C-alpha cells in the first residue's frame, strides 16, 4: 500500500483509508467482536450481531444504486496491528478522538473487517457547489431508500449526515441516475455528484423470509440524547415502532429524509452561478415546503412518487 490514514471512528470500531500501489482506494472498518473487554466503554459485539450487519451490507451492495460498494468482509484474529495503532496516534494528535487506543487486545481477539469503495466526503463537511448539487443529494438518497423499501422492506434507522457520503464526479459516465421501483423506471440529474449511503449497524431488512434487524429496545441510551435533531429522530422512531424493531415501519425512512432536508436547508450554502437551476431561493423554498409535507408520507416510496419536489425533478420512463 502506498498510503494509510485513519479517517474516522465509531463506538464499535475504527475507520481507515488506504491507497494501493495501483491507485485503488479503499475504506477499512475494523470492529472488535466476541471479546470480554469493553471497547470504548461498550460491550463488544457478538458474531451473531455482526452477521446481521454483514448480510445487510452485502445485500445492499449487490442491490447497487447509491449504497456503498462492499469489496469484501473478513473475520480475523490477533493483536491490533502496529501500523494501525500508529495511524490511530496520528489521528489523535491532529483531532480529538473519543475512542480508547485499541492497544489492549490480546492475540485471542477477533475482528470483523469491512473493505468498502471510497464513497467520498460526509455530507456534514461536504461543500456544495450549487443548489442543483444539494437537490441531487436529496433526490439520490430518497430514490435509493425507495428502491430498497420495494426490494427488501428496508429501513436505515440511522441516516444522520455522517452516513451520507458525497463524491464529486468531474467526468460522470452519465448525466443521469436511473432508478427502478414499483415496476417503473425513473431518472434524475446527477449534478456531477454521487451519493453513497453507509453504515447499516441499526438497519432493518427482509432477506428472503428472514427479518434482519437490530433490537434498539436493548439500548435505551440511544433515545436519551439531546442537542441535535438526530436525537429527536431516534425518539420519533421509537414512538412509531412502539419499540418493536422487528416489524417493518417504512415511515422511519421519511423521518430521516426530513432530517437531511432540514440539515441541508439550515447548514449549507450554495455558491453556484447566477441563472443556474434551481436558484438558491427556489431550492430553499422547496426544502421548507418539503419538510412541511413529510408528515403526510408513510414511506420513501410514497414520498418519491407523490411529493412535488421529487415529481418535478424526476422523469418517469416507459418500462420496456
**Backbone phi and psi for residue 56, each to the nearest 5 degrees, phi listed first:** -65, -45
**Backbone phi and psi for residue 78, each to the nearest 5 degrees, phi listed first:** 140, 180
CA gap 198, 226 in Å, rounded: 23
Q: Which residues sit opposite 18 in a β-bridge?
A: 4, 26
Could you tell me the three cell numbers for 95? 483531532
Could you tell me the three cell numbers for 144? 435509493
- List of residues 6+ apart from 106 with CB closer than 8 A: 79
**Sign, Cα dihedral of 121, 123, 126, 127:** positive
Candidate list 36, 89, 118, 158, residue with the active-site label: 158
Could you tell me the three cell numbers for 271? 455558491
What strands lie across the sheet with 315-317, from one edge to the other? Answer: 176-181, 184-189, 315-317
Is residue 158 annotated as a catalytic residue, yes or no?
A: yes
CA gap 15, 132 in Å, rounded: 30
Catalytic site residues? 158
Amino acid at each position: 500500500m502506498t498510503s494509510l490514514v485513519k479517517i474516522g471512528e465509531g463506538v464499535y470500531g475504527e475507520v481507515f483509508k488506504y491507497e494501493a500501489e495501483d491507485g485503488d482506494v479503499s475504506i477499512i472498518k475494523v470492529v472488535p467482536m466476541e471479546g470480554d473487554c469493553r471497547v470504548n466503554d461498550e460491550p463488544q459485539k457478538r458474531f451473531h450481531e455482526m452477521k446481521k450487519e454483514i448480510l445487510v451490507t452485502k445485500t445492499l451492495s449487490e442491490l447497487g444504486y447509491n449504497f456503498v460498494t462492499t469489496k469484501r468482509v473478513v473475520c480475523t484474529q490477533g493483536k491490533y496491528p502496529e501500523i494501525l495503532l500508529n495511524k490511530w496516534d496520528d489521528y489523535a494528535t491532529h483531532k480529538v478522538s473519543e475512542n480508547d487506543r485499541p492497544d489492549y487486545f490480546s492475540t485471542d481477539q477477533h475482528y470483523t473487517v469491512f473493505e468498502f469503495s471510497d464513497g467520498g466526503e460526509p455530507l456534514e463537511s461536504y461543500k456544495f457547489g450549487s443548489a442543483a448539487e444539494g437537490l441531487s443529494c436529496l433526490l439520490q438518497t430518497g430514490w435509493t431508500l425507495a428502491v430498497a423499501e420495494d426490494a427488501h422492506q428496508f429501513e436505515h434507522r440511522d441516516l444522520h449526515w455522517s452516513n451520507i457520503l458525497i463524491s464529486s464526479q468531474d467526468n460522470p459516465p452519465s448525466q443521469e441516475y436511473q432508478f427502478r421501483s414499483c415496476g417503473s423506471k425513473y431518472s434524475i440529474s446527477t449534478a456531477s455528484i454521487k451519493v453513497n449511503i453507509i453504515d447499516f449497524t441499526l438497519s432493518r431488512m427482509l432477506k428472503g423470509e428472514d427479518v434482519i434487524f437490530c433490537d434498539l429496545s436493548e439500548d435505551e441510551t440511544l433515545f436519551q440524547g439531546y442537542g441535535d435533531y438526530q436525537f429527536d429522530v431516534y425518539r420519533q422512531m421509537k414512538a412509531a415502532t412502539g419499540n418493536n424493531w422487528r416489524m417493518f415501519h417504512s415511515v422511519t425512512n421519511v423521518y430521516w429524509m426530513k432530517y437531511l432536508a432540514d440539515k441541508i436547508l439550515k447548514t449549507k450554502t450554495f455558491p453556484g452561478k447566477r441563472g443556474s437551476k434551481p436558484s438558491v431561493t427556489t431550492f430553499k423554498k422547496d426544502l421548507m415546503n418539503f419538510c412541511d409535507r413529510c408528515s403526510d408520507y408513510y414511506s420513501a416510496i410514497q414520498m418519491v412518487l407523490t411529493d412535488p419536489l421529487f415529481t418535478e425533478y424526476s422523469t418517469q420512463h416507459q418500462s420496456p
